[in-house]
Structure 1
Amino acid sequence: MLLNDEMSNAMRIETNLPEFTLETIEAVEKELGSRFPNELREAWRHDSKFEVGEWFFYPIKDERFFNKTWDDTIRANRDERGLPEHFITVATNGSGDELGFLTSDVETIYVWWHETDELERVADSIEVFVEVTRLESDVIETFCERVNESETVFGLSAEANDGWAYAPSVIEETDVLLFFSTRERALSCRVEEWDNYHVIELPLDLFIAAWLPNMSEDGLLCGLDWPSDLKGMEYDPETVLEAIEEAE
């Protein structure tokens, strides 16, 4: 599968290093004992070092630019790092977690969470991972811009002055509290069993100082600007907090 323009734009170039030839990529694959996902092979043939969201993809070592490529793909997969067996990492979030694939299925993408030593399947392919990451970034950036401007977060509740609308998470065994960047977006979700719900306003400073930290402690997730079908992106409260602060 060729790297399409939309995917290429989502994979932000980190340096202006030259691309790699197919022969160079195949040499790295031989060293690691596994073929890379097709989309990643194609990406390396366009750019040699890039990032997607919070994930920084390892480059292929280039002796001409050693200071920019020393932390390369082969080095990232050295045995002493303690990665799961048959797992090949291709990117890191800088916090010790790794993004990669299994040698038995090079297309499916997993995250290795280093603190729990667990592998989590996150996408059927690099292409899907890039698209989902781009959508997540678009939603959270727009949400943060709006709430920073209005200094207000909106929600829904069955009671006028108590409670908060939530939905079960589809990715974890927890609940997702729904937050909206405008009153209109909150009103659009007053459908079916929620048609009599009240719109609630929450000051942004309280949302930042109390709600997000408490949600993080309780293991709850944030649903930002979900549409009326009540299906949308789910975010860790700490991620939302960081994004709001960065958007200020």
Structure 2
Amino acid sequence: MRIETNLPGFTLETIEAVEQELGSRLPNGLREAWLYDNKFEVGEWFFYPIKDERFFNKTWDDIIRANRDERQLPEDFITVAANGSGDELGFLTSDVETIYIWLYETDELERVADSIDAFVEVVRLELDVIETFCERVLESETVFGLSAEANDGWAYAPSVIEATDVLLFFSTRERALACKAEEWEDYHLIELPLDLFVAGWLPNMADDGLLCGLDWSSDLKGMEYEPETVLETIEEAD
């Protein structure tokens, strides 16, 4: 994993000293990143830095401080990043490569990736998809979809990450029409004004616990997003 920042990295000896204080080896991708840089940000996740006295104001909230006992993190869980909402990203000392999210509100661990590199790759892909989607719909002021009925309903698929459904939205007419195949061959193209999508659909979907599938491929595979995330990204890009 290589994420460039404006703070310098560390020697392997320094990284190993941090590991000794934490009581665990760190994921390989994170060890490699710290050889070159310090204090990373990937999507909504802010990675704890290694404390550097040369840049104390930027690194005081370091990874060792983040894992102090008084924080009451799950047993054998070491956090490496936070999202600002109370959730923590990290690993278990029994398996330092597999990455988990500790969900603050439910006090549960959710396995999210086989490695820190895989996690970063997925986050970057998610950012690319949602940012491109929002740019296109802001330009056209239209969101596209499919429906079995001409004037009612919306195409959806079961989520692969949660026990809910994913409503599919497309940034262009062509992307929506590409999914008119097999059981969806007779579906109708729907054009939804962007202002209605933002003011009505996304808030209602959030209330109903539904997810957004943005610009899925013709084989009905793609990224799933919380409606709140889509709404926030549109508002930031507008």
TM-score by structure 1 length? 0.94
Could you tell me how far 1:48 is from its partner in structure 2?
1.0
The alignment partner of 2:160 has SS state of coil
2:227 to 209, 226, 237: 237
Residues of 1 paired with 2:203 and 2:108: CA distance? 24
Residues of 2 paired with 1:112 and 1:241: CA distance? 24
Q: Is the 1:156–1:200 Cα contact (8 Å) retained in structure 2? A: yes
Could you tell me how far 1:12 is from its partner in structure 2?
5.1
Amino acid at match of 1:55: W
The aligned counterpart of 1:87 is 77
Residues 33-70 of structure 1: CA deviation (Å, up to 9, x unaligned):
00000010000001011111111110001122211110
Residues of 2 paired with 1:66 and 1:42: CA distance? 22
The alignment partner of 1:67 has SS state of helix
The aligned counterpart of 1:52 is 42
Residues of 2 paired with 1:109 and 1:116: CA distance? 18
The aligned counterpart of 2:28 is 38
Q: Is the 1:221–1:236 Cα contact (8 Å) retained in structure 2? A: yes
- 1:129 correspondence with 2:114: no
Q: Is the 1:178–1:225 Cα contact (8 Å) retained in structure 2? A: yes
The alignment partner of 1:25 has SS state of helix
The aligned counterpart of 2:96 is 106
Q: Is the 1:12–1:51 Cα contact (8 Å) retained in structure 2? A: no
Residues of 1 paired with 2:73 and 2:212: CA distance? 30
The alignment partner of 2:151 has SS state of coil
The aligned counterpart of 1:203 is 193
1:193 to 173, 183, 191: 183
Unaligned runs of 5+ in 2: none
Residues 125-158 of structure 1: CA deviation (Å, up to 9, x unaligned):
0111111111101100100000000111011000
TM-score by structure 2 length? 0.98
Residues 173-215 of structure 1: CA deviation (Å, up to 9, x unaligned):
0000000001111000000000000010111111111111111
Residues 6-44 of structure 1: CA deviation (Å, up to 9, x unaligned):
xx2xx352xx22211111111111111000000100000
Q: Is the 2:133–2:170 Cα contact (8 Å) retained in structure 1? A: yes
Stretches of 4+ moved more than 6 A in 1?
Answer: none
Q: Is the 2:4–2:37 Cα contact (8 Å) retained in structure 1? A: no
Q: 1:12 to 1:174 in 2, by over 3 A?
A: farther
Residues of 2 paired with 1:236 and 1:185: CA distance? 21
Residues of 2 paired with 1:83 and 1:166: CA distance? 37
Q: Percent identity?
A: 84
Residues of 2 paired with 1:231 and 1:31: CA distance? 43
The equivalences for 1:125-164 within 5 A come to 125-164=115-154
Residues of 2 paired with 1:123 and 1:145: CA distance? 28
Residues of 1 paired with 2:21 and 2:162: CA distance? 36
Residues 202-231 of structure 1: CA deviation (Å, up to 9, x unaligned):
111111111111111111000000010001
Unaligned runs of 5+ in 1: none
Number of aligned residue pairs: give it: 238
